């Protein structure tokens, strides 16, 4: 008997007027799995994440997380159930130091003292202790990405959605991020949206390809990278005879 999915969507659809951004997506992630989600711009990846986190109300379909239906739940209810998200553009409290940003996340579930301990752990885990007392509004994009990841992890989620986490990072930061994500997988589930193929090779075993709002293909890294139609999608050509 196969391991049950931590998160499963069924027929998930999001329409904006005549535009179908997410089109009947069936998708599942197991507990502790690290899954990469790839696709060209406009494939519906960020919209899919917004549907999962309640920022958008799906037009149709269902989202089940840990055997609980999430459709209709508000963002904060979904987050409290154990889903955290690192958004495409780092979404931080710019006027506050990195430490305060992270502590605000931990404070959701813990006392002030405990949240400060968790904050210190997260600063060490992501190796950004040097940034702790700097206002995040003054940090470089890559540093902001790391602070946001630490902030999300401080909420101790069971599933983390990461939307282009490596964008704007230096090679050293990307390497550090890849190590952290590999370490986290197993303890929690991760869904990573990314365009950087080298980064995906570094972290992923399983990949899902989204194209025009639909699941185009799923498979392991080697299989996906070698797939002719996936390459054509990324090169901007039409994927004739889509699967």
User: Binding residues for other proteins, per CB under 8 A?
Assistant: 53, 55, 74-76, 79-80, 84-85, 87, 91-97, 100, 104-105, 107-109, 112, 151, 155
Instruction: Report the nearest approach of other proteins to the CB of residue 105 (Å).
Output: 5
Outline where 82-203 has alpha helix (H). Answer: 98-106, 112-125, 141-154, 171-184, 197-203
Residue 47 or 87 having the CB closest to other proteins = 87
Q: Which of 75, 79, 126, 78 shows the shortest CA–CA distance to 99?
A: 126
Q: How many C-beta atoms lie closer than 10 Å to residue 78's C-beta?
A: 20
Q: How many C-beta atoms lie closer than 10 Å to residue 230's C-beta?
A: 22
Structure tokens at 129: 């202790």
Residue 148 or 229 having the CB closest to other proteins = 148
Instruction: Report the nearest approach of other proteins to the CB of residue 206 (Å).
Output: 26
Residue 86 or 214 having the CB closest to other proteins = 86
Q: Are 206 and 220 in contact (CB under 8 A)?
A: yes
Residue 139 or 209 having the CB closest to other proteins = 139
């Amino acid at each position: 008997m196969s391991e049950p999915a931590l998160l499963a969507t069924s027929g998930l659809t999001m329409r904006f007027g005549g535009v179908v951004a997410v089109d009947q997506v069936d998708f599942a992630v197991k507990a502790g799995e690290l899954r990469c989600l790839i696709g060209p711009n406009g494939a519906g990846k960020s919209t899919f994440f917004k549907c999962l986190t309640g920022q958008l109300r799906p037009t149709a379909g269902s989202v089940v997380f840990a055997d609980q239906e999430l459709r209709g739940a508000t963002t904060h209810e979904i987050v409290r159930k154990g889903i955290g998200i690192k958004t495409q553009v780092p979404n931080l409290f710019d006027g506050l130091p990195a430490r305060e940003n992270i502590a605000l996340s931990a404070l959701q579930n813990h006392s002030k003292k405990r949240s400060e301990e968790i904050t210190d752990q997260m600063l060490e885990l992501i190796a950004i202790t040097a940034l702790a007392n700097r206002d995040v509004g003054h940090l470089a994009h890559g540093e902001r990405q790391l602070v946001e990841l630490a902030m999300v992890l401080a909420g101790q989620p069971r599933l983390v959605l990461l939307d282009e986490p490596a964008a704007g990072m230096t090679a050293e930061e990307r390497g550090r991020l890849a190590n952290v994500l590999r370490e986290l997988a197993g303890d929690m589930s991760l869904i990573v949206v990314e365009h950087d193929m080298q980064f995906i090779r570094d972290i992923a075993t399983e990949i899902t390809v989204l194209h025009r709002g639909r699941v185009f293909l799923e498979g392991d890294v080697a299989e996906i990278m070698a797939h002719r139609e996936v390459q054509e999608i990324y090169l901007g050509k039409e994927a004739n005879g889509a699967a």
